[in-house]
Structure 1
């Protein structure tokens, strides 16, 4: 782990992988709730954590705390959201071929995988979900689609994501859901936040 200053009141924690990011996120959230850390926002990324609005002594505090272990236990503690999913995506057959599986077996894998939201980005409410692992990572499309419908379930690299709104996109589509995942009238607007556990339930 490496800590860098990011402006006048932010710190950037650089981690070795997504597991370490998740472990640190859980620890820092708990310390904030306990009043041990004063921070406005904790924003996870693929391999970083941004602590925005920290006190001047935050860097020294981080250095004094033991490095957290793995994120396996943390994944069992986040809220669980089940997403009814129709597995009929345009790229499902291609994904199954890349995995050297039949389509029904690929669907079973997706439906039985416990996903965890690692971070959000790309578009408001777009959650990058870990769970498949590197073994089942797939490349993005060579040419992004100009429009991907809202609710489309896609894969890219080792992540699974659900498009909260219609937008261009290069992820491989494996299914779709009618669930609303982002609404500015809700609090919070995004239904899937970092640490949330997700299951894709065949509909």
Structure 2
């Protein structure tokens, strides 16, 4: 038997609600009225779900923010393993694309409710770009500082990384073998970077 709300901390209640929301979105889709099914799955009352997270839009937004935080925690060791901006940028994009392609809640949304999910990658992407910059720019600044000849702007690199990942996640034809794995994505991103790199004569 699950502990009741009275036995849990605010953080534990919040996490239980979001865990239930993630499972419900994957199983039932984004069009489902979530409160009743979340409450049942989490072993909490519907008023408790409203009290701690809010309405359906707030639940989805809170879940999204939590998942982004978790994603950054997984991405950080990848970035820390690289000292050169070229390598760090490529591996950042490769990891991010793979992570997003494996993320069940995101993939369910892209498949079942693209009108709900896609604006966060396109016309309403600015908050996500800005949040990504808060995380990425310090890492890219460290890499650029290690290469005195580099002219790369870490802020531009951060935004470009987001836009590349967004494009590859939302339009990649994995079923047709187009950029189907990490090596293919790595080669693609490295090729893009090579376009802007002066070649020796």
Tell me which structure has the larger Cα radius of gyration.
Answer: 2
TM-score, normalized by length of structure 2?
0.27
TM-score, normalized by length of structure 1?
0.27
Query: Which structure carries more helix by proportion?
Result: 2
Query: Which structure carries more strand by proportion?
Result: 1
